[in-house]
Amino acid sequence: MKKRIKIDEKLTLRALVSADAIRMYQIIDSQRDYLGEWLPFVQFTNKLEDSKGFVEMCIQNWKNMKDFVFKICLDDRMVGLIGTKEIDYLNKSTEIGYWLSEEVQHQGIMTKAVKVVIEHLFEEFNLQRIQICCATGNVKSSNIPLRLGFVKEGVKRNAEWIGNYEFRDLEVYSLLKGDF
């Protein structure tokens, strides 16, 4: 996978580097209520070292071609992340996950980013199936796969632990290469 993908004049996807942990943590820490409503990892990201560990894991996974996580850059400034989760090379499938800073919502950034990642996964890796899971009720997130032609397959019950002995249901959306 390319380490830098240009989306348009203002948007690029770039592979994470160690120094990105600082900006990532700043976004998460300053937007805990907003991001934490739907992203369970926010409550477990309590210090810079937590973000550093995540970034280092992403870098290692990239080297091993296990998964690919990009920072989403608007005018060279990180505003979110997008990446694969558990690429299954045998079955030619993966899941995409993403999040975006509150101040850049409603500009089509994430839809563009997801579309570009899909294109690269289908073309470069010859994947046949891409899945996106969204928390039930997270309309902003679930609108993205719907806009891009994904099919809602159903709901995984109690699929995501959100802490305090609580679980959340996840809607499952999929897109097949032949449908893209």
Q: Hey, which residues does 5 pair with through a beta bridge?
A: 13
Rounded-to-integer distance, Cα 19 and Cα 89, Å: 30
Confidence of residue 163 (pLDDT cuts 50, 70, 90): confident
Please say whether the dihedral angle defined by the alpha carbons of residues 10, 6, 179 and 97, taken in this order, is positive or negative: negative
Say if CB 96 and CB 83 are below 8 A apart. Answer: yes
| Tens-digit pLDDT profile for residues 80-138 | 999 999 999 999 999 999 999 999 999 999 999 999 999 999 999 999 999 999 999 99
Confidence of residue 51 (pLDDT cuts 50, 70, 90): very high
Q: Hey, which residues does 6 pair with through a beta bridge?
A: 12
Say if CB 171 and CB 134 are below 8 A apart. Answer: yes
| Tens-digit pLDDT profile for residues 53-72 | 999 999 999 999 999 999 99
Rounded-to-integer distance, Cα 63 and Cα 139, Å: 34
What pLDDT does 104 receive? 98
Joined together, the tokens standing for residue 130 give 């891409």
At the top level of CATH, the class of 4-127 is alpha beta
What pLDDT does 165 receive? 86
Buried b (16+ CB within 10 A) or exposed e, 47-57: eeebbbebbee
Rounded-to-integer distance, Cα 102 and Cα 34, Å: 7
| Tens-digit pLDDT profile for residues 10-29 | 999 999 999 999 999 999 99
Confidence of residue 155 (pLDDT cuts 50, 70, 90): very high
